[in-house]
Structure 1
Amino acid sequence: MSNKYMKPPSRKQLVILIVCIVTGFIIGYSYNLSKDNMKVTSPYIDQEESYREELIGQQERNKELMEELNSLQNKIRDYEKTFASNEDQYENLVQEAERLRLILGEIPAVGQGVKITLDDGEYDPNNTNPNDYIVHESHIFKVINELKISGAEAISINGKRLETNSYINCTGPVISIDGEQFPAPFTIEAVGNPESLIASLKIVGGVFDQLINDQIVVTIEQSGQVVMPSVNDKQS
């Protein structure tokens, strides 16, 4: 019986085998290393992408907030302009309200002004009609109307503050103001610019000349301070 022996591999075959084994090992190791690297770097890539998206979102939000801020600033400027305009209107309304209260006599009047005194003329025995030289309500009306036209802020007669609806009647030698009687002489005081008031009264052919022609004794004085209580205050 013959024995058959396996032929041992040649040196060349052995080298090829070793090379194949080593090559397979290197390929396997490289593949596993690549997978591990991908597993390691993948979270960082995802996180970087997340940061990038968040940054873009913040930039968009900042842009929206900047536009909103500009819009609010424009509204504030509009409100400031409106407020400034309304503030001027408010001040004008306050001044107008004060002027109206002054005219109505609801607040005291204090300031420069004039004092006009009207008195009966001297008795003339040759004139049997006393109406020709005494002061009538028509004379007082002329003075009051001229004072109002020339800018008087407040007017009183013998200390009686006149209201917008005051009425004056003449009864012989006395006049009645809102039902209260006052004898001559009649002192009319007015708060206002004294130069303007006096110039208006003394204009040629004006109230002063007319009173003189009617035999009325007239004196006009400038007053440094005229004080009048409100119509609600008790007047003596």
Structure 2
Amino acid sequence: MKNNESMIFVFIASIIIGVLISLNFNFKRTSNSFQISAQQYQEAYNQRNKLYSEISNLRESNHNMTNKINKYKYSDSKAEKLIEDVNKELNYNKMIAGFSSVKGKGIKMIIRDGSTEFPEGDENNILILLRTLHDDDMIKVVNELKVAGAQAIAINNQRVLPNTEIFCSWAFLRINGEQIPAPFVVNVVGDPDVLENTLMRDDGFIRTLINRGIEVEISKENEMIMPAEIGTISYDNLTLSSK
């Protein structure tokens, strides 16, 4: 009898222990696992790739700077080399900033106001407005040129810089503080084919100007000479940021 009771007790205890072990195993699995959606996975994947790209860029930048420092450090004529490189970098920055004259292939675009001659007594003020190039029109033309890959832009020999203003001043456009009369000759340095194809697409702004009656002529040029901006631009409110 005692043996039977012992066996029953062991059997019940084994069942209880097995259940506890099973519950403990499932609990641990549930607490240590989680699920993410496809969108969360994609966001995490993109973030990882972005971090890898930033790390790669930083490594490349660090490598280039280290090489430059070593070149100055171990060169016999490091002072002369330093001056030469600084001048080269200064000239390059002046070129892309618009403070030096540059040249290159591109296009020439001539924009003229449309005809405002109407039969006597049949003047149309709306058509006159539509056939006149306004400051916002020229701003859109400049933006479209930038989208087309323009590397340098000049309007009637006024170089277009990041802080160049374009607005109406009576019958003129004011650009870089100068009053510019029509017609407007827009010289552009860039790939001539890409510039022309982008500007003359059916849904482009140049097509809109032409449909309004404004005259636009575009010609490809093997060499465009772009003037430097000689105006006085103050940057006294700017300081370098460490970020």
TM-score interval, normalised by the smaller of the two chains: 0.5 to 0.7
Contact (CA 8 Å) 1:120, 1:133: kept in 2 or not? yes
User: Residue 115 of structure 1 aligns to which amino acid in structure 2?
Assistant: K
- The yes-or-no answer on 1:127 pairing with 2:124 is yes
- The change in CA–CA distance for 1:200 and 1:85 in structure 2 (over 3 A counts) is farther
Q: Secondary structure at the match of 1:195?
A: helix
Counterpart of 2:206 in structure 1 is 208
Displacement after TM superposition at 1:172 (Å) = 3.4
Determine if contact 1:155/1:161 at 8 Å carries over to the other structure.
yes
Aligned positions of 1:102-181 closer than 5 A:
102-125=95-118, 126-129=123-126, 130-181=128-179
What root-mean-square deviation, in Å, do the aligned CA atoms of Structure 1 and Structure 2 show? 3.0
Residues 217 and 95 of structure 1: CA distance in aligned 2, closer, same or farther (over 3 Å): farther
For the 8 Å contact 1:104–1:163, the answer to whether it is kept is yes
State the AA in 1 paired with 2:142. Answer: I
- 1:124 offset after TM fit, Å? 4.0
Shift of 1:140: 1.1
Q: Using the alignment, how far apart are the partners of 2:230 and 2:197 within structure 1? A: 32
Please show how residues 18-97 of structure 1 align to structure 2 within 5 Å.
86=67
Contact 2:148 2:198 in 1 (8 A): yes
Pair 1:85–1:184, CA change in 2 (3 A): same
Structure (1 or 2) with the larger CA radius of gyration = 1
- 3-state DSSP of counterpart to 2:197: helix
Which structure 2 segments of 5+ residues have no match? Answer: 1-62, 72-86, 233-243
Gaps of 5+ in 1: 1-81
Secondary structure class of the residue paired with 1:151: coil
2-structure distance, mates of 1:195, 1:96:
30
What amino acid is aligned across from residue 128 of structure 1 in structure 2?
Answer: N
State the Cα deviation string for residues 47-73 of structure 1 (Å, max 9, x = none): xxxxxxxxxxxxxxxxxxxxxxxxxxx
Preserved contact between residue 136 and residue 167 of structure 2 (Cα < 8 Å): no
TM-score normalised by length of structure 1 = 0.55
**233 and 136 in structure 1: CA distance in 2 versus 1, 3 angstrom threshold:** closer
Which of 217, 225, 232 matches 1:219?
Answer: 217
Q: Taking structure 2 as the reference length, what is the TM-score of the superposition?
A: 0.54
2:100 and 2:228 in contact (8 A); partners too: yes
Query: How much has 1:95 moved relative to structure 2?
Result: 9.7
1:88-144 Cα offsets, whole Å, 9 max, x none, are xx9xxx999776533320222101011111101011423134322111112211211
Contact 2:158–2:176 (CA under 8 A) maintained in structure 1: no
Q: Work out the CA distance in 2 between the residues paired with 1:102 and 1:170.
A: 28
Distance in 2, matches of 1:216 and 1:99, equals: 37
